């Protein structure tokens, strides 16, 4: 059960890494645009915060598998913990197969159907990313999708990891893990909501008050 951060903000990633609870990072072109910096520099800084067991997903943007592979090699040369993200398209799947054959980890992203996940697994993907929030936006049950993928991956001993993405709230996190996701990638503001609870705050206030009175 792993937790990734879904952001390209190096300062935020550095801060949350201090918890020791973060196993990796996912980025995408939109998240890169939000920070407005050179992606190669950003990837270099993020990947240096983690050891070689971590996974830092970086998306290639190109029309052909050939061009995706050229970009992938550039990113992968930065650090071994960089995972290449490709879209679940014909060219993306071709690139996935070729990169996987060269032992480069690939995350097939923008997964909205069971059939997409099967092709991505066949293409040797290390990760597939079903987009839970966007499924919900389009009346697709993303949690059922994860359950179906989990069932068939288990039946066929498929080692591709299910990485639940497009997480908008804490219920998406718990439901994704319950449905069998291996990893959930979480926006920083949703991570904040994971540990907070009003009853924890109330209980702590009382404990602190009682402790002070005892030690008067």
Q: Which residues bind ligand G3P (CB under 6 A)?
A: 6, 26, 28, 31, 131, 133-134, 165-166, 168, 185
Q: How do beta strands 24-26 and 183-186 pair?
A: unpaired
Cα gap 106→152, rounded to integer Å: 20
Q: Give residue number: closest CB to ligand G3P.
A: 165
Alpha carbon 128 to its chain centroid, in Å, reads 9
Q: Which residue out of 80, 85, 178, 196 is catalytically annotated?
A: 85
The smaller minimum CB distance to ligand G3P, of residues 112 and 114, is found at 112
Q: Residue 85 catalytic?
A: yes
Question: DSSP letter at 38?
Answer: -
Helix 10-17 vs helix 39-48: angle between axes, to the nearest 10 degrees? 10
Alpha carbon 118 to its chain centroid, in Å, reads 19
CB 165 within 8 A of CB 6: yes
Q: How far is the CB of 203 from ligand G3P (least distance, A)?
A: 33
The smaller minimum CB distance to ligand G3P, of residues 98 and 184, is found at 184
The smaller minimum CB distance to ligand G3P, of residues 31 and 73, is found at 31
The smaller minimum CB distance to ligand G3P, of residues 133 and 180, is found at 133
The DSSP string of 97-136 is HHHHHTT--EEEEEE-SHHHHHHHHHTT-SEEEEBHHHHH
Q: How far is the CB of 185 from ligand G3P (least distance, A)?
A: 5
Q: What are phi and psi of 93, to 5 degrees?
A: -70, -40
Q: How far is the CB of 103 from ligand G3P (least distance, A)?
A: 24
Q: How far is the CB of 168 from ligand G3P (least distance, A)?
A: 6
Q: How far is the CB of 181 from ligand G3P (least distance, A)?
A: 12
The smaller minimum CB distance to ligand G3P, of residues 131 and 191, is found at 131
Q: Which two tokens stand for residue 3?
A: 């937790």
- Active-site annotation, residues: 85
């Amino acid at each position: 059960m792993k937790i990734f951060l879904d952001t390209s903000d190096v300062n935020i990633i550095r801060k949350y890494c201090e918890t020791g609870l973060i196993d990796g990072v996912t980025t995408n072109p939109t998240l890169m645009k939000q920070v407005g910096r050179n992606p190669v520099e950003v990837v270099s800084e993020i990947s240096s915060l983690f050891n070689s067991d971590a996974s830092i997903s970086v998306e290639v943007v190109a029309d052909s598998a050939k061009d995706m592979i050229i970009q992938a090699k550039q990113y992968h040369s930065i650090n071994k913990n960089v995972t290449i993200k490709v879209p679940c398209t014909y060219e993306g799947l071709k690139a996935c197969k070729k990169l996987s054959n060269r032992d480069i980890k690939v995350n097939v992203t923008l997964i909205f159907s069971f059939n997409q996940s099967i092709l991505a697994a066949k293409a040797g993907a290390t990760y597939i990313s079903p987009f839970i929030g966007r499924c919900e936006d389009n009346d697709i049950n993303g949690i059922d999708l994860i359950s179906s993928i989990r069932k068939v991956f288990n039946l066929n001993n498929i080692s591709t990891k299910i990485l639940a993405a497009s997480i908008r709230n804490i219920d998406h996190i718990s439901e994704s893990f319950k449905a069998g996701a291996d990893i959930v990638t979480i926006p920083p503001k949703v991570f904040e909501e994971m540990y907070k609870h009003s009853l924890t705050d109330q209980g702590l206030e009382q404990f602190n008050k009682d402790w002070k009175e005892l030690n008067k």
